[in-house]
Amino acid sequence: MSPAKRTLLSSLRERVRQIERPGSAHGVFSLGFAAIDRALPGGGLARGALHEILGTGSDEEDGALAAAFAALILGRLAEGGSVLWCLASADLYGPGLAAAGLDPSRLLLVEARRDDLVLWAMEEGLRTRGIAAVAGEVKRLDLLGSRRLQLAAERSGIPAFALRRWKSADEAARWRAVPNAAATRWRVGALSSRSEGNEPGVGHPHWRVELLRCRGGVPACWEVEIEDGAGFVSVAQRLANRPLAKEEGFSLARRSAGS
């Protein structure tokens, strides 16, 4: 094969990789934990891409765990600017976000009663200078709406997070299965806390984090424990799909309000 053909073939292969990994042209950001990063193309979440986060069971209605997991991620991104959070009801709990590592003073909140307005606000945020990341709570997320967000994220290099939240189990069942264009899909569920001291059943928050879909990556799951109110996080030794060495841990340090 001639040098020109080899160069062309290499270029085509790289183009295919970029198509398979939307947003990869803007690089990735590490979640800070090797085992999770390894499951993601390029060693982290794509910056210029849409990512979807779901809860499980009753949490699909209140969205607490999805919001907490998003806060863990957004807290790392907020160092580069403000975070735009779009939602139908202003029920975010500031101290909870701070405990997860997201400084509430970094938030810009947009309240919109309909999903189409939330998606519109998210798309506008992806075009706005000074925004480090965009999050939005929505019930309906179809191919058209999600594709618009994905394209806007690819153009700007700003990551977007769609937090799915429904009013009932029936509504969740109806809309959860509708396909969308998100590059990754995560599901977070609560596990029983490990007891500490003399208080049975009282311990650090304990989650099961599942990577359900990842273009160019491998689905996987982990058990994650929030070790204290400062937002320090570790991954449990006993994982759902493989063991984990003790030294493989990560922490997301809390940012104090007003810092």
Tokens of 240: 């759902």
Domains, the chain, ranges and CATH? 24-187 (3.40.50.300)
Question: Collapsing DSSP states into helix, strand and coil, what is residue 198?
Answer: coil
Q: Which helix (H) or strand (E) holds 83?
A: strand 82-87
Residue 253 is predicted with a pLDDT of 31
- Quick one: tokens of 77? 């991104």
Residue 35: CB atoms within 10 Å: 17
Beta-sheet pairing, 82-87 with 131-138: parallel
Q: Are 145 and 117 in contact (CB under 8 A)?
A: no
Share of the chain residues as helix, strand and coil, in percent rounded to the nearest 5: 35, 25, 40
- Averaged pLDDT, groups of 10, the chain, 259 residues long: 74 57 70 80 91 85 85 87 90 86 91 93 95 94 94 95 87 86 92 65 77 89 69 48 38 31
pTM metric for this prediction? 0.78
pLDDT of 19: 52
Alpha helices in 32-100, H assignment, sequence order: 34-38, 59-62, 64-77, 94-99
Q: How many Cα neighbours within 13 Å face the side chain of 248?
A: 18
Tokens for 75? 């807290």
Q: What is the pLDDT of residue 232?
A: 45
Strands 107-111 vs 160-164: parallel, antiparallel or unpaired: unpaired
